[in-house]
Amino acid sequence: MSQQNVDKSVDEKKPKAVALLSGGLDSSLAVRMMLEQGVEIEAVAIKTPFCDFDCGKGCGHRVKEVADELGIKLKTVYFGEEYLRMLKKPKYGYGSGMNPCIDCRAMMYNAAREHMEKIGADLVITGEVLFQRPMSQNSRALQIIENETGMEGKVLRPLSAKNLPPTDAEKSGLVKRENMGEIKGRSRKGQLVMAKHFGIAEPPNAAGGCLLTDPAFSKRVEDIMERFDDIPSLNDIELLKVGRHFRLTPDAKLVVGRNKDENEMIKALVTEGDIMIEAKDHVGPTCILRGKHDDAMVATCAAIALRYSDAPKDSESKVRVTIDGSEREVITSPADSSLADAIRI
């Protein structure tokens, strides 16, 4: 075959990529860079119990609208209990909080790889930027994640590609390395220049992120993980996201709503065996007592519920206690702050 024919056949093959899309700026830019090069793209968005979409600072972003704006197909993948199993004992450990970034990214890469194989794509692209995140976006971590998922050479990070070893797609000429970015680090300058190039008037805010990187939330996750030989339920995890939490015994905890919305969320999460506790004659929180309990514990929880209500602090008030639909009443005084503070998670 003549050189001319070889070049022609390369030109005719339209490369196809799967993008891990978060809805944040970085992954959108990565997609735009590839679309500009004539690469056909389908996106995969990941939802974990702790983050709405893959962690390109995309939590809460409008990933569906972004995919529509980009004109690409979107597949959403939900991780549930399998994510909690990984979180219980991540092979590569945790970051500064309970964030198991390397194992988490490996799960995301696996989801992208599966879709890549399903649609016969040539590569996966991500919005990762070298050294943007300490745990998962350094050269060694990126290599580990590729090795763990059998994706060596198959993952192109267009924003940082010139700072990374050439991928298979660059080596074979499917995409042009000279058109790739060389951003690294935490500064957003490079991304903002690119956003301007693509005419993105108001780039999505870089704020947001995964709950597992939040120190206060991480304490709650650590507390619940060590209570279970296996894993907590997804309902237990949802409950971590609302209210004040109090560890009563290794087997029991109390969750106290902080406002009307949280009270509603707590009610929606009540499950079999939970005890719901509310001040009867005063405005106050909805509380769940979850786990092994006795009457003394219920009385303590009633006192804590009153402490966060409008009930007078120096006299007794009634508290409604509901167990599996049947109600009873406890009369007690509000707990003092030292008790509540001592057991708060």
Binding region for ligand SF4 (CB under 6 A):
48, 51, 55, 99-101, 104-105, 136, 210, 212-213
> CA torsion, points 331, 336, 337, 343, in degrees to nearest 10?
-70
């809805």: which residue's tokens? Answer: 23
**What are 31's two structure tokens?**
């997609």
Closer residue to ligand SF4 in complex, CB, 222/336: 222
Q: Which residue has the tokens 């959108």?
A: 28
Q: Cβ atoms within 10 A of the Cβ of 199, count?
A: 7
Closer of 128 and 262 to ligand SF4 (Cβ): 128
The nearest distance, CB 87 to ligand SF4, in angstroms, is: 8
The runs of H, that is alpha helices, within the chain are: 3-12, 25-36, 63-70, 81-88, 101-119, 139-149, 168-171, 189-197, 215-225, 234-240, 260-269, 295-307, 337-343
The minimum distance between CB 298 and ligand SF4, in angstroms, equals: 37
If the CB atoms of residues 48 and 132 are measured against ligand SF4, the closer one turns out to be: 48
Beta strands in 210-316 (DSSP E): 244-249, 252-256, 275-279, 286-291
Shortest reach from residue 154's CB to ligand SF4, in Å = 19
What is residue 315's DSSP assignment? S
Nearer to ligand SF4, 135 or 321 (CB): 135
Q: Which is nearer to ligand SF4, 99 or 286 (CB)?
A: 99
Query: Do residues 17 and 39 touch, judged by C-beta distance below 8 A?
Result: yes
CB of 54 to ligand SF4, least distance (A): 7
What span, in angstroms and rounded, lies between the C-alpha atoms of 193 and 189?
6
The nearest distance, CB 124 to ligand SF4, in angstroms, is 15
Radius of gyration, CA atoms only, the chain = 25
Chain residue whose CB lies nearest ligand SF4: 55
Q: Can you state the percent helix, strand and coil of the chain, rounding each to 5?
A: 40, 20, 40
Buried b (16+ CB within 10 A) or exposed e, 115-139: bbeeeebbbbbbbbbbebbebbbee
Name the residue nearer to ligand SF4 (CB basis): 166 or 185: 185
Q: Is 223 helix (H, G, I), strand (E, B) or coil?
A: helix
Q: What's the token pair of residue 219?
A: 């304490």
Tokens of 286: 């909805």
Report the residue number, 51 or 275, with the smaller CB distance to ligand SF4: 51
User: How far from chain centre, in Å, is Cα 186?
Assistant: 20
Give the nearest distance from C-beta 145 to ligand SF4 in angstroms.
Answer: 10
Minimum gap (Å) between residue 83 Cβ and ligand SF4: 9
Q: Which is nearer to ligand SF4, 212 or 305 (CB)?
A: 212
Which DSSP category does 177 fall into? G
> Nearest approach, Cβ of 303 to ligand SF4 (angstroms)?
37
